[in-house]
Amino acid sequence: MTLLVGGLLILLALGVPVAFAMTGASAIYVLLQGGIPLVVMAQRVTVGVDSFVLLAIPFFFLAGELMNQGGITRRLVDLAQALVGGIRGGLGHVTVITNMIMAGMSGSSVADATGTGAVLIPAMERAGYPRIFSAALVGAASTIGPVIPPSIPFVIYGGITGVSVGRLFLGGIVPGVLMGVFMMGAVYIVAKRRGYRAEGWLTLAESLRSVGRAIPVMLFPIIILGGIFSGVVTPTEAAVVAVVYAVFLSVLLYRELTLRGLARVLITVAANTAKITFIIASASLYGWLLAREGAPQRLTSFFLSFSNEPWVILLMVNVMLLILGCLMETTAILVILTPVLMDLITRVGIDPVHFGVVLTLNLMIGLLTPPVGMTLYVMVSLARVSVTDFTRECGIFMLALLVVLILITYVPGLVTFLPQLIMGK
């Protein structure tokens, strides 16, 4: 166990890519330990991605990228402008609302951040907002994406634990909306303190035109979520239907994407998908060895030695995840720790759907924190601001996210109510 965990940490610290660090640590362990046939390594890695549930990852990713390239994101921004542009800090609220609607279509925070950032950061700069504010806000707001369904982390969590992805999706709705509401509150506070003004409401005719143009786009969440929750399609199939609809809108209806552009999007998304799923494949080997070593039981008894109250356990797990979220990559934490933590969670009687949503929201905060935060780096390079400034500016938004995290951790009903209402106990 020391060899397995220590080996991984050393390899990661030396800058070995996460996927190779996991297979490497596993290989060293298998070679030194003996008793495990080497061929098992190849087998575990391969079956780790031979999974129909995980297929939803490239599809949701592809849908998000098509929306960005096909002019769909821009139409959403126009819609949000019509809805909330007149509130103080107007474009800030537009950013939050756009991300909330985007969240109902794509499953990936980084795709949302690049897409909305590319449209909104220049627009906010033209309207006189400091670039650092826009960058921090777009980054923070993009974390709503994976909590409001559909969501790539929920798919991964469901794939690992066997918890229904549909239930997780339903469980994310209320927490995601709360994130949006708290974030808009934070925007309002900052806007008031710094004297940002509203952009002014659009005229009725303009508003109606924006809403009208967004109607085909607004069918997205209805198709995806309606399809999943009514049980007509699985999440993976819903993701594919979203991709096909995005192709229809961007290539045939809006004509903003050529066939050549479509091929380029396919190649880019495939290459980027592989970076995530290769980590999942490696983690399937590494996690299997951890389980074989009895890591879940040891972690469980470690936590239970402090307390067996669910609220104390949740507090300790949350703090542990927040610290890990600063230091490690989100997908890696999700795939390594989920199986290890499940034993503990079920033992103290925490609902796995509730825990899945808490875990995801927690890890989303990790996307924004240095030294290891994907969204942080995407925004820093997109907006050309410094990591330190970004982190300082992001503070109030992270505080809003933390408040929501505490709320949903200790009021499980916020998560579990909808799934139980719609899909039964």
Partner 1 sequence: MQNLIDRLVGWAVGACLGAMTCIVFVSVVFRYVLNSPLAWSEELASLLFAWLTFIGAYVGIRSRSHIRIDTLVLVLPRAVQRWLERLADLGVLVLLLLLAWQGFRLTAATWSLEFPAMEISRGYLYASLPLAACLMIAALIFNWRLGREAPTSFPPEGRRGP
**Out of 232, 319, 399, 411, the residue judged to bind partner 1 by CB under 8 A:** 232
Which residue lies nearer to partner 1 by CB, 264 or 298?
264
Which residue lies nearer to partner 1 by CB, 237 or 256?
237
From the list 424, 371, 425, 373, the residue with the least C-alpha distance to 401 is 373
Site for partner 1 contains 125 (CB under 8 A): no
Site for partner 1 contains 136 (CB under 8 A): no
Which residue lies nearer to partner 1 by CB, 38 or 421?
38
Q: According to CB under 8 A, which residues from 94 to 113 bind partner 1?
A: 107-111
Site for partner 1 contains 231 (CB under 8 A): no
**Out of 125, 130, 268, 315, the residue judged to bind partner 1 by CB under 8 A:** 268
**Out of 80, 140, 241, 396, the residue judged to bind partner 1 by CB under 8 A:** 241
**Out of 4, 7, 8, 12, the residue judged to bind partner 1 by CB under 8 A:** 12
Which distant-in-sequence residues (6+ apart) come within 8 Å of 388 by Cβ? none
Q: Which stretch binds partner 1 (CB under 8 A): 208-216, 313-321, 338-346, 368-376?
A: 368-376
285 CB burial (10 A radius; 0-12, 13-18, 19+) = buried
Site for partner 1 contains 329 (CB under 8 A): yes
- The rounded distance, in Å, linking the Cα atoms of 152 and 166 is 12
Site for partner 1 contains 376 (CB under 8 A): no
DSSP secondary structure, 323-361, as one string = HHHHHS-HHHHHHHHHHHHHHHHHHTT--HHHHHHHHHH
Q: According to CB under 8 A, which residues from 17 to 56 bind partner 1?
A: 17-20, 23-24, 27, 38-39, 41-43, 45-46, 49-52, 54-55
Site for partner 1 contains 331 (CB under 8 A): yes
- The rounded distance, in Å, linking the Cα atoms of 286 and 280 is 10
In the numeric block, which tokens belong to residue 348? 């103290």
Site for partner 1 contains 391 (CB under 8 A): no
**Out of 237, 256, 293, 389, the residue judged to bind partner 1 by CB under 8 A:** 237
- The rounded distance, in Å, linking the Cα atoms of 116 and 76 is 9
State the minimum distance, in angstroms, from the CB of residue 73 to partner 1: 14
Q: How far is residue 153 from each of residues 150, 213, 226, 301, 389, measured CA to CA in Å? A: 9, 31, 20, 27, 28
- The type of residue at 187 is V
